[in-house]
A and B are shown apart, each in its own frame.
Chain A
Amino acid sequence: MQFWIVQTLNSLALGGLLFLLAAGFSLIFGLMRIANLTHGSLFMLGAYIGVSILKFVPNLWLAALLGGVAVAAFGGLLERLILRRLAGNVLGQVLVTLGVAYIIADLCLMVWGGDPIPVPTPELLRQPIVIGGVAFPSYRLVVVGIAIITAIALYLLMERTRLGAMIRAGVDDMQMARAVGIPVSRLFTIVFCLGSALAGAGGIIGGPILSAYPGLDFDMLPLALIVVILGGVGSLLGAFVGSFIIGAIYTFGTALLPGLAYVILFLPMIFVIAFRPRGLFGKVTT
């Protein structure tokens, strides 16, 4: 019983973290048509920056906020200085984002070393919550909560604000959006910063569960990728549902069939693609 509860919570927490990562990835993909292969690296960079911030400010949430802002600034620079020059050049963008991912990975290795750095769980959340004799790890519950709150906030941003309406217009038909005077190019930067911030903050929030280690970037990137393929490109709901599906499959797959976890992970994606190429909730086909 305890096994199933712990694994279920683990899978929910991983799903929550994946959502923080995949939501930005999906928005960037949907609006800018860029497969941002640095996205896993931004997550890792966030985790490492968070580790350093925690040395000065012993508060995980503040570290997540500051780290998110720092990673957002980095993402903004990346978009403005490099990706902007490569508009429409799909392969160029892919290789550049991958190149930047290698640079980030090596920089992190240089600065923070090769050993995994554990991130302490906030004091208040160390004790598991015990209900009816069964212990629930409380930090994981909080992570799920954060993901749900973020999802609601993003939903409101996209559906209820002017900015969200402009982004949706850009995703649906960029040329038309430009023609009616929407500053699509500024939207690109905003969305890229927003996605980077979510990934960076996600890295720190995930710290107590995953810790910060070299290779975290390319452990997370494929997961974000499948979430987006499964859920549908540019769809927030797709990213949300996809994250929890993949979180569950990956966690239970690793626990029950460690050798084949990766195969099991990719099977639903391949299945969905075979019958519904645009993903569960996708509107756009690329």
Chain B
Amino acid sequence: MSRVAWLALLAVLLAGFPWIAGEFYVNLTSQIFIAAIFAASLNLLVGYGGLPSLGHAAFLGMAAYLSALLYLKLGLGHWITAPIVLAATTLMACVFGWIALRATGLSFLMLTLALSQVLWGTAYRWVAVTEGDNGLRGLTRPAPFGISLDDPAAFYYFTLAITVLAIWIMARFVGSSFGAALRGTRDQPRRMSALGHNVWLIRWITFVYAGFWGAVSGLLFVYYNKYIHPASLSLTSSAEGLLGVIAGGSGTLAGPIVGAALVMILKNYVSAYIERWNMLLGFVFVMIVIFMPDGLVPGIRRLWARWKAK
């Protein structure tokens, strides 16, 4: 089958999914979409920029908390909060990027981790504003054009639309000449510099851009859960995103989506049967890294090519 036929089949499946599947699976798929945007935005840094970030949850969590606080403390509606939240979180990404990109490689990783830990610690300890470990409750989902998103199917389509849009725009970003320059800074930063590219600026713009999409996933996340807890800002949250990117295949477009789905399914489905979720998650981390270092998508592609060659 051609590529177009595959895509058409996928589109039909995704569009018809709420009719054939039960509520549990519809909700699970909505969560997968949100995780996919998150992982795809992280992949811009990790896969295409060669910048290992372990603090991407900062953007998801910040957007979610801001949206919740604007609603709870100021009573603002979703039409006003969403742009404010996206702008503010992107602004934060500007500052975080400026700090974290003082370094590259492992030091960059530690800086992103440290920065996200600041937010996590603040969300935990600044009880007067964030309610600490109790999290913020009593949130609502938006109702665009008067359609309530409290219905699982309605929320599914809302998330699907935004996810398709987000992935498409990110794919355009990667495919653009800027994306090519970004991959250049990943593979040969000195040569890129010698060619007259501003390596730092390319990385910084990518960081901010990834932060913006992280914020988008954060908004969807808080809409879905109608609740936000410091755990969303934690190292675990960042690491799950990173695991999704790696499990699926970093530096590929489909990889983070597949990886995010894998992590989400494990988390929601398997943890219902197995009590020791954390240990399982740990083993999954170790196994994926050891046995699938390139990720699922490139691995399957290789198998496919070998099978076709026979």
Interface, chain A (partner B; CB < 8 A): 29, 33, 35, 82, 85-86, 89-92, 94-96, 98-103, 105-107, 109-110, 218, 222, 225-226, 228-229, 233, 258-263, 265-266, 269-270, 273-274, 277, 285-286
Would you call A261 and B285 a contact (CB within 8 A)? Answer: no
Would you call B239 and A98 a contact (CB within 8 A)? Answer: yes
A-B interface pairs (CB < 8 A), number: 137
Please, which residues of chain A bring their CB within 8 A of the CB of B286? Answer: 82, 96, 99-100, 103
Would you call B118 and A273 a contact (CB within 8 A)? Answer: no
Measured CB to CB, the nearest residue on chain A to B117 is A222
Would you call A218 and B235 a contact (CB within 8 A)? Answer: yes
Would you call B52 and A259 a contact (CB within 8 A)? Answer: no
Please, which residues of chain B bring their CB within 8 A of the CB of A96? Answer: 285-286, 289-290
Considering only residues 288-302 of chain B, those with a C-beta below 8 Å from chain A are 288-290, 293
Please, which residues of chain A bring their CB within 8 A of the CB of B111? Answer: 229, 273
A-B contact pairs, 14 of them (CB 8 A): A35-B109, A86-B289, A89-B293, A94-B52, A95-B242, A99-B283, A102-B282, A103-B279, A103-B282, A103-B286, A222-B117, A265-B121, A266-B121, A277-B103
Interface, chain B (partner A; CB < 8 A): 46, 52, 54, 99, 102-107, 109-111, 113-115, 117-118, 120-122, 124-128, 235-236, 239, 242-243, 246, 250, 276, 278-279, 281-286, 288-290, 293
Measured CB to CB, the nearest residue on chain A to B104 is A286
Please, which residues of chain B bring their CB within 8 A of the CB of A89? Answer: 289, 293
Would you call A102 and B126 a contact (CB within 8 A)? Answer: no
The smallest beta-carbon distance between B86 and chain A, in angstroms, is 23
Please, which residues of chain A bring their CB within 8 A of the CB of B250? Answer: 91
Please, which residues of chain B bring their CB within 8 A of the CB of A95? Answer: 239, 242-243, 246, 285, 288-289
Apart from A95-B239, A100-B282, A260-B126, 6 more pairs, CB < 8 Å: A91-B250, A92-B289, A99-B289, A106-B278, A107-B279, A274-B99
Please, which residues of chain B bring their CB within 8 A of the CB of A265? Answer: 118, 121
The smallest beta-carbon distance between A102 and chain B, in angstroms, is 3
Would you call A110 and B290 a contact (CB within 8 A)? Answer: no
CA distance A286 to B54 in the complex (A): 16
Please, which residues of chain A bring their CB within 8 A of the CB of B125? Answer: 258-262
The smallest beta-carbon distance between B256 and chain A, in angstroms, is 13
Would you call A106 and B276 a contact (CB within 8 A)? Answer: yes
The smallest beta-carbon distance between A254 and chain B, in angstroms, is 9
Within 8 Å by CB of A35, from B106, B126, B242, B290, lies B106
The smallest beta-carbon distance between B167 and chain A, in angstroms, is 22
Measured CB to CB, the nearest residue on chain A to B132 is A259
CA distance A225 to B127 in the complex (A): 25
The smallest beta-carbon distance between B69 and chain A, in angstroms, is 15
Within 8 Å by CB of A101, from B118, B126, B282, lies B282
CA distance A171 to B243 in the complex (A): 29
Would you call A262 and B279 a contact (CB within 8 A)? Answer: no
Known: A95-B243, A263-B121. A102 touches B279 (CB 8 A): yes
CA distance A244 to B118 in the complex (A): 20
Please, which residues of chain B bring their CB within 8 A of the CB of A228? Answer: 110
Would you call B99 and A262 a contact (CB within 8 A)? Answer: no
Would you call A266 and B118 a contact (CB within 8 A)? Answer: yes
Please, which residues of chain B bring their CB within 8 A of the CB of A101? Answer: 282
Please, which residues of chain B bring their CB within 8 A of the CB of A226? Answer: 114
CA distance A286 to B52 in the complex (A): 13
Measured CB to CB, the nearest residue on chain B to A99 is B285
